[in-house]
Structure 1
Amino acid sequence: MLLGLHVKNLALIEKAEVEFTGGLNILTGETGAGKSILIGSVGLALGGKASKDMIRQGEDSALVELAFSVDDEKKKNALEALDIAPDEDGLLIISKKITPSRTVSRINDETVTTARLKAVTGLLLDIHGQHEHQSLLHKQKHLEILDEYSRNETENLKRDVEEGYRKYQALREKLSGFHLDEETRKRESDFLRFEIQEIENAAIRPGEEEELSAVCRKFSHSRKIAEAMQTAFMAVDGADLGRAVKHVENAAAYDENLNDILKELSDAEDILNGVARSISDYMNEMEFDEETFKQTEERLDRIRSLMAKYGNSEEAVLKSLEEKRERLQELENYEELAALASRELEAQTRSMEQLCGTLSEARKRAARVLEERIGAELMDLNFLHVDFRIDVRDLEHFTAQGADEVEFMISTNPGSVPPRPLGEVASGGELSRIMLAIKTVLADTDDIPTLIFDEIDTGISGRTAQKVSERLSYIAGKHQVLCITHLPQIAAMADTHFEIRKTVENGKTSTRIHKLGKEEQTEELARLLGGAEITGAVLENAREMKRLAEKKKRELLEERNVI
């Protein structure tokens, strides 16, 4: 779960430290206090786009840091598959630093790309805001939700379908290559034979171009080499170390301390004599044959010409040769191979029909159960009259997800108006409640440990707000939930309650957050209930609301067989 959030120099936030708990974490505050900034900072750390304008005025950089605790072995294995591992205590730190010139994301101090970051955080946390609610307008999202609900039944089937689809597409592409008439095949075959013969006749070998280049370089500069080596030989041969050895040897007869110098001079004389012999041997063996030089240049030109046509190395040219041989063999057995490819595609098509059919039946069975459960949840969320359906329709083509199109349909006036697509019927507030109903149903199967709900209370109040609060508490029985709200009915259900407040110090505006104690929670509920003036009656109303919320939470726990 999400253990804590650290934010520094982001927009109105100078510094904020939050330690979250399990269950339902509620965040409240006055309008404009910075609630959206705080949740937005989480989105930034998870891979959201950041700009230098987000840096607090007068500061050089901004920082967002999330601390996760990962205890589940399945999650650890999934993270390890992404080459990410929590420390020995199961701690995973995700941070994003924003500067005017760049943005850097890190996981446990290792810099990561945005794509890798999103893959990791997608396993740990899910944010449900207005954008997520709007995703319900897209049919692809409906398929994802159905597959998530039916994961135990469909996961292996989906894997088989995806693998089968890859084979199907490969065979379609292969068969599409068999479209040449006899004359075109003859022309291509003749050209391939020419190219194959050209490469084979050259008989090149790996590394030959580099070797020949070195030989040509030597031939091209043979005069300069000879002149340089002659000068070197004269310099070495003219060094009169023998005379120096003789003089030191005479002096050493009177002072034995000179023996070390004598030995060093003798060794140097031996080395120089050896170098002189080596230079002499090199010069004696050095030959320049104009014909050999010409043949070497011609061979080098031929190899480079082949590399320009067939690859940038000898290995690439030889690989091209093998590919051309295979293509020629294919053309020479064209009719037979085309028939074989057609039979293979027909067989794979039948296999895909069977796989997709099995998957579709599993989805349809799951859809009947899921639509009933979501419908019941919607009724409990104050959709007084609702007909919710999940249509699973057959596609006329295969996809990597099967051959189904899934769409959620709803009618809030059953009997008079048939169910229609969500986008044609549901308002923004209704979409948020539908998403909450879906998350409630998926609470037992969804394995993402932390859920954040932003704008879940859009367009609701009264009894509906109470029902929403109960569903959030229900979900919090299986997940860590963070929720920003302005409704007292939802805030009263908090297991942990935070207040976000805007302050002005030394002419600077800052957003701060702190955890509320029991009495402070009552006062915050009173503020949400009564507005600017908090009377004794409002406070007592807040206390009663909190007592009823605690009673309801105990009932929900009993309902889930936790107590």
Structure 2
Amino acid sequence: MLRELSIRNLAVIEEVNVEFHNGFHVLTGETGAGKSILIDALSLVAGGRGSSDMVRYGSDKAEIEAMFDIKPEHPVWAVLERLGVQASGDEMLVVRRELTSQGKSSSRVNGHLVTMTMLREIGECLVNIHGQHEHQSLLKSEQHLEWLDLFAGDELLGIKSQYRQSYKAMLGARTARIELEESSRQHEQMLDLYRFQIEEITAASLKPGEDEWLAEEKSKLMHAGKRLDSISEAYNLIYGNKGIETLNKAIIRLTDIVSYDQAGLAPILEQLQSAYYQAEDAAFQLRDYREGIESDPEQLAMLDDRLNLIHGLKRKYGETIPDILQYLDKITLERDKIENREENLEKLLAEELKLTSRAEKLALKLSSLRISAAKRLSHAIEQELWQLQMGSTRFLVQMDSAAGDKPSQEGAAVSGLKLMPCGIDEAVFMLSTNPGEPLKPLSKVASGGEMSRIMLALKSIFASIDQIPVLVFDEVDTGVSGRAAQAIAEKMSQLSASCQVFSITHLPQVACMADHHYEIRKGVYNERTSTSVTELVMDTRIEELARMLGGVEVTEKTRHHAQEMLDLAYRQKGA
């Protein structure tokens, strides 16, 4: 439940801190006093859209903070764990939302910064706000099926999830089949191109790293003369110009005197001996390398041709030889697909039929569960409407299954079921408000007051299913009066036994049934308009009910009437 709501600098509210309780709450006040601002604040806490226009004039930012007391088994904790938001450990959940005058928004849950998407997902588990505009959702038949599925429970929702996966897979197979069927001419043209490209790349017999080796060999052949000259000169410097002979003489001289100073001369002699042998070995290697140098114009031309071939293939098919070979694998696969088109088409069709058959079985099972649930939901709504002074009303969740076509093994169409994203069913809420009149869609028969009561009946049924702890009604009793208004008040009071109910109302019949009454008042303080929220008790509550009954002038008679209404409400609730 919502324990406390703190609002600062939101619209005409400068600062308001309100504590709430269990049960049924009503918010009343003059038109324009700012009652809906509290609902806007709750909407922002639940992830609703905000704007800079909502920030109080002259303020940098608006701040809304709500503290919820949530049972440990409530599904919101699982959502928080999945989103990485730590619980407080005391079943308390604090949601904070800020809006700046520059239009920026930030949100925190238990001190953790969250995105708007995360806040919206959390808020959907905490608060359900129902206003007059939501009546329009009752006129949309696609919404009817969603409500029916939610009412049916976990078994249906599980099968529905399986069906959606099968339906998606079936559509994928169907799309692949259709693309293959419709692109045959283009594929024939591509087949010729693929065959040419495969032949051209295959004939080249490319090997990874070949281009680098060829470039290196080309460089050697192109500079054969220069290499020969340089190697010969280096060899002569080491071996031909007494270079190595001079080094040998130095070794002989040191050998004669090394015995006189082993510690000082022996290491030097060892280095010179090592240098002699290394120089001699290097000279022999240079001689051998020189003898292997060849100038071969024909080989150079062959290397040039091969490199030009590879460069040409690179321009067409890839920057490197591995890229070209990868492209070869790709077009070989595409060629095989086209050449085996009929076989592939048969496989795709068989796969589509298999997936379609599975989807149909799930859709039929889904439909069977829906038909059963539709009967239960129809009866449950009629019972709720009877309590809301619509006892002669007949309500029916009408189920229709659409017929369509499915592909056969030969590719022709045979009569079958029309599979849609949610199955084969369409649900329409049908209503007859007067005895003897036929059932018709809600949009054709229901008045505004009747729509309010039908929506309240639905909310009463779903309150125990969706486990949302805070239920808010924003003037849903508009358009009703008399006994119907009293019935709505009694229903909201009953509903508050399973969740915390808030209602903005102008009807005294509704206000007197509340467990807690709050007055919203707008006034001018220090030359600024500001809204305040006050919890009413005893005499102040009687005064507010009297105002609602009598208008501007409150008399003793209206006060007495207000007291009488409260006494009757207390007795009715068993207080």
TM-score for both structures, normalised by structure 1 = 0.75
Post-superposition offset of 1:318 = 7.8
Q: Deviations over 1:514-547 (max 9, x none)?
A: 2223443233223222333333443333233223
> Per the alignment, do residues 161 and 15 of structure 1 end up closer, same or farther by CA in structure 2, a change over 3 Å counting?
same
Equivalent residue number for residue 383 of structure 1: 390
Partner of 2:428: 407
Residue 137 of structure 2 corresponds to 135
Match of 1:480 in 2: 500
2: CA distance, partners of 1:6 / 1:119: 21
Residues 57/78 of structure 1: CA separation in 2 closer, same or farther (3 Å cut): closer
1 CA distance for matches of 2:200 and 2:532? 77
CA distance in 2, matches of 1:522, 1:460: 22
Kept in 2: contact 1:28–1:484 (CA 8 A): yes
**Cα distance between partner residues in 1 of 2:458 and 2:361:** 30
The residue matched to 1:533 in structure 2 has which SS? coil
Does structure 2 retain, via aligned residues, the 8 Å contact 1:202–1:303? no
Deviations 1:305-340 (A, max 9, x none): 7568xxxx9999887665544433322322222112
By how many angstroms is 1:298 displaced?
11
- The equivalent of 1:398 in structure 2 is 419
Offset, 1:302: 7.2
Evaluate the alpha carbon distance shift between residue 298 and residue 350 of structure 1 in structure 2; reply closer, same or farther with a 3 A threshold.
closer
5 Å matches for 1:258-269? none
1:541 equivalent to 2:542? Answer: no
Three-state SS of the structure 2 residue aligned to 1:388 is: strand
- CA 1:144 to 1:203, structure 2 compared with 1: closer, same or farther past 3 Å? farther
Per-residue deviation at 1:457?
Answer: 1.2
Per the alignment, residue 3 of structure 2 pairs with 3
Aligned-partner Cα distance in 2 for 1:315–1:124: 57
The aligned amino acid for 1:30 is E
Q: Could you say if the C-alpha distance between residues 187 and 469 of structure 1 is closer, same or farther in structure 2, counting changes exceeding 3 Å?
A: same
Q: What SS does the corresponding residue of 2:102 show, helix, strand or coil?
A: coil
Q: Distance in 1 between matches of 2:342 and 2:391?
A: 66
Aligned-partner Cα distance in 2 for 1:106–1:517: 34
CA displacement at 1:181 relative to structure 2: 7.3
Q: Match for residue 367 of structure 1?
A: 374
Q: Is this contact kept in 2: 1:45–1:105, CA < 8 A?
A: no
For residue 177 of structure 1, give the secondary structure of its aligned residue in structure 2. Answer: helix
Partners of 2:439 and 2:423 lie apart in 1 by 25
- How does 1:126-525 map onto structure 2 within 5 Å? 126-179=128-181, 184-193=186-195, 306=317, 323-396=330-403, 397-415=418-436, 417-525=437-545
**Structure 1 residues 179-203: Cα deviation after superposition (integer angstroms, max 9, x where no partner):** 1676644432343355567788666
1:320 and 1:96, CA in 2 relative to 1: closer, same or farther beyond 3 A? farther
Judge conservation of contact 2:132–2:475 (CA < 8 Å) in 1: yes
Deviation (angstroms), 1:174: 1.9
Contact 1:135 / 1:141 at 8 angstroms: preserved in 2?
A: yes
C-alpha contact (below 8 Å) 2:127/2:468 kept by paired residues? yes
Cα 1:202–1:510 change in 2 (3 A) is farther
For residues 270-293 of structure 1, what are the alpha-carbon distances to aligned partners after superposition, in whole Å with 9 as ceiling and x for unaligned?
xxxxxxxxxxxxxxxxxxxxx99x
The change in CA–CA distance for 1:184 and 1:354 in structure 2 (over 3 A counts) is: same
RMSD across aligned positions (CA) = 3.3
Q: Which residue of 1 aligns with 2:95?
A: 94
Instruction: Determine if contact 2:207/2:321 at 8 Å carries over to the other structure.
Output: no
Measure the CA separation in 1 of the matches of 2:328 and 2:22. 64
Letter in 2 for 1:446: D
Instruction: Give how far 1:34 is off.
Output: 0.5
Find the aligned partners of 1:412 and 1:314 in 2 and give their Cα distance: 79
In structure 2, distance between residues paired with 1:56 and 1:69: 29
Indicate conservation of the 8 Å contact 1:178/1:338, yes or no. yes
- Cα distance, 1:449 vs. partner? 1.8
* Cα distance change of structure 1 residues 301 and 182 upon mapping to structure 2, 3 Å threshold: closer
User: Do 1:92 and 1:107's aligned partners in 2 also have CA atoms closer than 8 Å?
Assistant: no
SS of the aligned residue for 1:547 comes to: helix
Measured against aligned partners, the alpha-carbon deviations of 1:15-58 in whole angstroms (never above 9, x if no partner) come to: 11122222212111122110012212222333333332222122
Go from structure 1 to structure 2 and tell me whether the alpha carbon gap of 1:409 and 1:348 turns closer, same or farther (over 3 Å shift).
same
1:359–1:306 Cα change, 3 Å: same
Tell me whether 346-355 or 126-135 shows the greater mean CA deviation. Answer: 346-355
Q: CA shift at 1:167, angstroms? A: 1.4
Distance in 2 separating the partners of 1:21 and 1:321:
73
Superposed, 1:61-80 pairs within 5 Å as 61-73=61-73, 74-80=75-81
CA–CA distance in structure 2, aligned partners of residues 455 and 129 of structure 1: 7
User: C-alpha distance in 1, partners of 2:9/2:26?
Assistant: 23
Does structure 2 retain, via aligned residues, the 8 Å contact 1:443–1:479? yes
Indicate if the aligned counterparts of 1:137 and 1:423 stay in contact, CA closer than 8 A.
yes
1:215 is aligned to none
Aligned equivalents of 1:94, 1:135: Cα separation in 2: 28
Query: Secondary structure of 1:145's match?
Result: helix
Task: State the 1:92 CA deviation.
Answer: 3.1
Residue aligned with 2:372, SS? helix
Amino acid at match of 2:150: E
Instruction: Give deviations 1:228-259, integer Å, cap 9, x for gaps.
Output: xxxxxxxxxxxxxxxxxxxxxxxxxxxxxxxx
Is residue 2–residue 67 contact of structure 2 (8 Å, CA) maintained in 1?
A: yes
**AA partner of residue 131 (structure 1):** H
In structure 1, the residue corresponding to 2:552 is in which secondary structure? coil
Opposite residue 158 of structure 1, the aligned amino acid is K
Structure 1 pair 327–385 and aligned structure 2 pair: CA distance change class (3 A) = same
Deviation at 1:82, TM superposition (A): 3.7
Deviations 1:325-383 (A, max 9, x none): 44333223222221121112112222222211111111111111211221222232122
For 1:184 and 1:96, how far apart are their aligned partners in 2?
57
Q: Verify the 8 A CA contact 2:85 2:112 in the aligned structure 1.
A: no
Q: Any conservation in 1 of the 2:97–2:108 contact (CA below 8 Å)?
A: no
Count of equivalent residues? 467
Distance 1:381 1:533 in 2: 31
Distance, in Å, in 2 between the alignment partners of 1:92 and 1:317 is: 59
Tell me if structure 1 keeps the 8 A contact 2:318–2:324: yes
Deviates more, 1:466-475 or 1:348-357: 348-357
**1:178 Cα deviation after fit:** 2.1
Deviation at 1:87, TM superposition (A): 2.6
> CA 1:183–1:421 in 2, change beyond 3 Å: closer, same or farther?
closer
Structure 2 distance, partners of 1:347, 1:118, is 39
What's the CA shift for 1:59? 1.6
Partner Cα separation in structure 2 for residue 319 and residue 527 of structure 1? 83
User: 1:389 and 1:188 mapped to 2: Cα distance?
Assistant: 58
SS in 1 for 2:106: strand
Q: Which runs of 5+ in 2 are unaligned?
A: 213-299, 404-417
The 1:203–1:421 alpha-carbon spacing in structure 2 relative to 1, beyond 3 Å, is: farther
Contact 1:82 1:120 in 2 (8 A): no
1:184/1:534 CA distance change after superposition, 3 Å? closer
Matched, 1:48 2:65: no
Task: Report if aligned partners of 2:126, 2:470 keep a CA contact under 8 Å in 1.
Answer: yes
Question: Rg bigger for which structure?
Answer: 2
Query: What is the aligned partner in structure 2 of residue 104 from structure 1?
Result: 105
Q: Tell me, in whole angstroms, the C-alpha distance in 2 between the residues paired with 1:202 and 1:49.
A: 61
